[in-house]
């Protein structure tokens, strides 16, 4: 009997799919001590998953090369530094698969019908954990946004204005040599501007999902505010860091799916960092700042940068 969770089985299925047939069959022999004879790669994959008792143990197998885990994480929207060691990638994959209290089917079912809204799978539940929902929302959001980047060479996932409220507002503050503030109103406009970051500008945004890089709070009226920091990459190079605040409100007319009410994105380029470490940036917003914004019900950051 397999000791893997459903989420781990899905993740491993994608990683094993990246293996050559020779390596996959060899791994199957190793995992089963050559006790099981398989006839094709489908049987080999299922046998490996069935005989694996521990996710970390399988990730550490020699045939599960560092580059495979790196590529898998990138395809899931988790862009790690190009010089990351295997043990760091293993830990990140295990974190990605860690269970949470919020329901987020899009994370374990990324191949969805184009007519179906992924965000409809994030459900509001009594007593839900805002921090867990924030983490799973960010895993979904950045994976789907990054999938629009042609440099990943993967099929773009379901992205569009349906994930935003019609009156959504967005502010984009960038410091890449000179300061520039852009403001956008409406679901279609905000959707297209974020899409351009990935598709035209070919940026990959890698969020820091650990507590020092992500905070989430919920108001008594149901607004969830999620703040996340991370690094920005293009073609394997780290360009700088970002910090982003989302305001999320569930829609009772759409099966209580969470939709984005406002977005505040701040980008700081490498040239403006002055040699600051950017591998895993921490949030500049503290809980008090977020409580103030939550009380206002909107993003009120005045543009102060980190």
Q: What is the pLDDT of residues 87-127, one digit of tens each?
A: 999 998 998 887 643 333 333 333 333 333 344 344 444 44
Q: Residue 271 has what pLDDT?
A: 64
Q: Residue 270 has what pLDDT?
A: 73
Q: Residue 282 has what pLDDT?
A: 63
How many Cα atoms sit within 13 Å of 253 on the Cβ side? 1
3-state class of 6 per DSSP?
helix
Q: Residue 191 has what pLDDT?
A: 95
Give me the CATH code for the 113-296 domain, please. 3.10.450.50
Q: Residue 159 has what pLDDT?
A: 93
Of the candidates 206, 198, 199, 211, the residue with the CA atom closest to the CA atom of residue 84: 206
3-state class of 226 per DSSP?
strand
Of the candidates 173, 213, 176, 172, the residue with the CA atom closest to the CA atom of residue 193: 172
Rg (CA), the chain: 20
Residues of the chain where predicted confidence (pLDDT) is lower than 70: 1-2, 79, 99-128, 254-256, 271-282, 284-306
Domain ranges for the chain, please list them: 6-96, 113-296
Residue 191: burial class (beta carbons within 10 Å; 0-12, 13-18, 19+): buried
H or E segment at 138?
helix 130-146
Q: Residue 101 has what pLDDT?
A: 31
Q: Residue 7 has what pLDDT?
A: 86
Q: Residue 227 has what pLDDT?
A: 93
Q: Residue 255 has what pLDDT?
A: 66
């Amino acid at each position: 009997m397999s000791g893997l969770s459903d989420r781990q089985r899905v993740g491993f299925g994608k990683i094993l799919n990246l293996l050559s047939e020779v390596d996959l069959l060899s791994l199957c022999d190793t995992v089963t001590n050559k006790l099981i004879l398989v006839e094709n790669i489908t049987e080999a994959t299922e046998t490996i998953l069935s005989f694996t008792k521990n996710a970390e143990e399988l990730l550490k197998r020699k045939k599960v090369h560092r580059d495979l885990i790196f590529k898998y994480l990138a395809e899931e929207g988790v862009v790690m530094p190009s010089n990351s060691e295997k043990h760091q990638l293993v830990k990140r994959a295990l974190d990605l698969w860690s269970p949470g209290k919020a329901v987020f089917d899009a994370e374990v079912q990324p191949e969805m019908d184009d007519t179906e809204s992924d965000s409809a799978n994030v459900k509001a539940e009594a007593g839900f954990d805002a921090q867990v929902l924030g983490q799973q929302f960010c895993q979904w959001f950045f994976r789907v946004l990054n999938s629009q980047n042609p440099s990943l060479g993967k099929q773009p996932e379901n992205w569009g204005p349906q994930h935003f409220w019609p009156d959504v507002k967005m502010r984009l503050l960038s410091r890449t040599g000179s300061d520039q503030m852009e403001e956008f109103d409406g679901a279609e406009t905000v959707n297209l501007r974020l899409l351009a970051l990935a598709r035209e500008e070919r940026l990959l945004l890698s969020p820091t999902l650990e507590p020092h890089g992500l905070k989430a709070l919920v108001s008594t009226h149901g607004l969830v505010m999620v703040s996340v920091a991370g690094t920005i990459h293009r073609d394997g190079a780290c360009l700088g860091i970002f910090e982003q605040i989302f305001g999320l409100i569930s829609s009772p007319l759409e099966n209580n799916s969470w939709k984005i009410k406002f977005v505040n994105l701040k980008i700081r380029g490498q040239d403006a960092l002055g040699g600051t470490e950017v591998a895993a940036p921490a949030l500049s917003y503290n809980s008090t700042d977020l409580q103030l914004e939550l009380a206002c019900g909107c993003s009120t950051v005045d543009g102060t940068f980190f």
